[in-house]
Structures are given as structure tokens and as C-alpha cells.
């Protein structure tokens, strides 16, 4: 019989199994839910901006394969340029992406926007 300390409550208990970490199932579920809640809270602001950016790009394209919009237009729509999911290289150009949409600075303050799955 081996004693252990529950990471959620701090109570000392006798292990029923060799790999038991929590005193009971309720503590394990609560601990994991709190950990998941912490993670969601930490990423919620960025995820909200990413969702907003994707919605803006989708609305701008309106089913088209590509379009060009000005910096002022995108800023006016509420687009956040500092938040992207990844970048891709097409030819010699490096595109900023938000999930399945990408944009590239072209001419003076003009951005080409494409849907990657088109």
C-alpha cells in the first residue's frame, strides 16, 4: 500500500492502483476541466482575432478566387494584421495566412487576398 497526495485537493490517500494520481474520479475530472479552462482562457483573445480576420477575408472574397483591397479598407473592416496562423511561399513571395485564406502586400498599400482551397 502506497500513499500519494492528490494534486487537486492536496489530500493524502492510499493508492488503489500503481498508476493512480487522484484520490477519486471526481477530483481527476475537476483537475482536467480546470486545466482545459485555463488553456482556453489563455488563447481566447487570439482565437477571437483569428476568427474575426477569417470572417473579414471570407466576406471580402464573396466566393471569388481573389481580390485586391486597400490597407484602409481592411483596417476599416476591423482586420488585425499582427495575427496570422501561418505563412506560405508561392513563387518568390511570402503570403500571410489565416487558416484557409492568404493575403500579400502588393503595390502601395494594396493587398491581394486569395482563398487557398479554391
Residue holding cell 488585425? 80
Query: Over 80: is that where the pLDDT of 118 sits?
Result: no
pLDDT of residue 117: 84
What are the boundaries of each domain within the chain? 3-115
C-alpha cell at 8: 487537486
* pLDDT tens digits for range 64-109: 999 999 999 999 999 999 999 999 999 999 999 999 999 999 988 9
- Cβ atoms of 2 and 14 closer than 8 Å: yes
Amino acid at each position: 500500500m502506497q500513499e500519494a497526495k492528490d494534486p487537486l485537493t492536496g489530500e493524502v490517500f492510499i493508492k488503489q492502483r500503481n498508476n493512480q494520481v487522484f484520490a477519486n474520479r471526481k477530483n481527476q475530472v475537476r483537475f482536467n476541466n480546470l486545466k482545459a479552462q485555463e488553456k482556453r482562457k489563455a488563447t481566447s483573445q487570439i482565437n477571437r482575432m483569428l476568427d474575426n480576420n477569417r470572417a473579414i477575408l471570407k466576406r471580402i472574397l464573396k466566393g471569388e478566387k481573389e481580390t485586391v483591397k486597400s490597407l484602409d479598407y481592411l483596417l476599416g473592416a476591423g482586420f488585425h494584421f499582427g495575427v496570422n496562423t501561418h505563412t506560405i511561399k508561392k513563387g518568390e513571395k511570402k503570403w500571410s495566412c489565416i487558416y484557409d485564406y492568404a493575403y500579400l502586400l502588393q503595390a502601395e498599400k494594396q493587398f491581394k487576398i486569395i482563398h487557398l482551397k479554391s
